[in-house]
Amino acid sequence: MRVMILVTHLLGTGHLSRALTLGRAFGNAGHDAHVVSGGVPVGNLPTEGITLHQLPPVKSDGVNFTTLLTQQGGVADADYLASRKAALLSCLERIEPDVIITELYPFGRRVLKGEFQAVLNRAQESPYPPLVFSSIRDILAPPSKPEKALETEAVTAVYYDGVLVHSDAGLTPLEASWPVGAMLADKLQYTGYVAPPAAGAHPDGTGTGEILVTAGGGSVGRSLFETAVTAASLDTENHWRLLVGGSDQMQIINNLQSQVTSNNVTIETTRPDFRQMLTGAKIAVCMCGYNTAMDLLQSRTPAVFVPFDAGGEVEQTLRAESLAKQTGFTVVRAADATPEALVAAVQGLSGAEVQPLDPKQFQGAAQAVEIVEQFYEKHIGEEQSA
């Protein structure tokens, strides 16, 4: 199969990371995997077995997801968005996919509705229309208005063969964050969690026994890092390591270094060996994006979650509160995240253990491939008998 995955990350890098993991799974299964990325290029994510296509990139204006910016920070105007749509349709024509997977849309990314719908319409007009799936994480941002849920359901009914839900229906059903009617329920295909293989221990032991502070790969988390620097000065029994991401990471690091008053702090950029470092960490202090949650569950590292909730975002809070029902995880709301609160939360997790999950629950990418293969075999059989 030729598989075309469409993804645009606007703030962090989690959406792209998950799409690439899914793409690698198709490649590993012998399929021709293409990922078309519409976000700002990210240099440290693995792309083995994938053909990566880059559209003219856009990003959000902070947590304002209704205003799109170019990579340089200017407003992405109508001409710029038209160039994206043209590039996307060009990719569609060159790849001629058997399967199209839209990451998040139509459950999100409505600001890019024009380009997604252009692809869906063009695909549907093809003499041999491809199968179409949506790929969504465990918890979505709930629709702010009933009309948005109804529109999503209508688009799904017309264009989509299935919805790949990267979750465990028994642990986090889609109904926990999104209204699911009868039609949509029939489209849902739970894959389990999409995660790369467990990282294992760091070969050099870097990060072992430390308090590891991270906000992912995007340009968010400045306040968390500033709080952590002060928290470290109050917790001299532990070594705190801050991993700073985003395009302005060096500016943030320089500012943080000027605030350091103790010698138990290391501040550096995000690292490709982060998952191995996490395995040996004493405790993680982090937000609660999908990929971070998967890393923590696999590594069984205790964590203090400070979920991202700016701009009315609730996804990470819902996920953090769900995970905190088991031992080894606790939640500190961003508004309550003082240095003292972080230290108290870290000390409260001393000696805690995270319960292991069945490794099969993290094979969502491979399971997604099997689900799509089954649909495709049935699809080919129906075409041949027609």
Instruction: Encode the chain (386 residues) as per-residue pLDDT tens digits.
Output: 999 999 999 988 889 999 999 999 999 999 999 999 999 998 778 889 999 999 999 998 877 788 899 999 999 999 999 999 999 999 999 999 999 999 999 999 999 999 999 999 999 999 999 999 999 999 998 898 899 999 999 999 999 999 999 998 888 899 989 999 999 999 999 999 998 888 999 999 999 999 999 987 666 788 999 999 999 999 999 999 999 987 788 999 999 999 999 999 999 999 989 999 999 999 999 999 898 999 999 999 999 999 998 877 888 999 999 899 889 999 999 999 999 999 999 999 999 999 888 888 899 999 999 999 999 999 887 777 66
Same domain, residue pair 270 and 289? yes
Task: Describe the strand order of the beta sheet including 188-190 as a list of residue ranges.
Answer: 50-54, 32-37, 2-7, 99-103, 131-136, 162-165, 188-190
For residues 58 and 186, membership in a common domain is answered with yes
Q: Based on the fold, state whether residues 256 and 167 are members of the same structural domain.
A: no
Q: Is position 264 within any domain?
A: yes
Tokens 């994006």 sit on residue: 289
Residues 181 and 297 in one domain: no
Same domain, residue pair 172 and 218: no
Q: Based on the fold, state whether residues 221 and 301 are members of the same structural domain.
A: yes
Residues 39 and 346: their CA atoms lie apart, in Å, by 35
Per-position b or e across 318-345, b if 16+ CB within 10 A of its CB: bbbebbbeeebbbbbebeebebebbbbb
Do residues 69 and 76 make contact, with C-beta atoms less than 8 angstroms apart?
A: yes
The CATH number covering residue 375 comes to 3.40.50.2000
List phi, psi (to 5°) of 41.
-55, 140
* DSSP code string of 170-194: TTS-GGGTS---HHHHHHEEE---B
pTM of the shown model: 0.84
Q: Range of 279's domain?
A: 211-357
Residue 293 shares a structural domain with residue 381: no
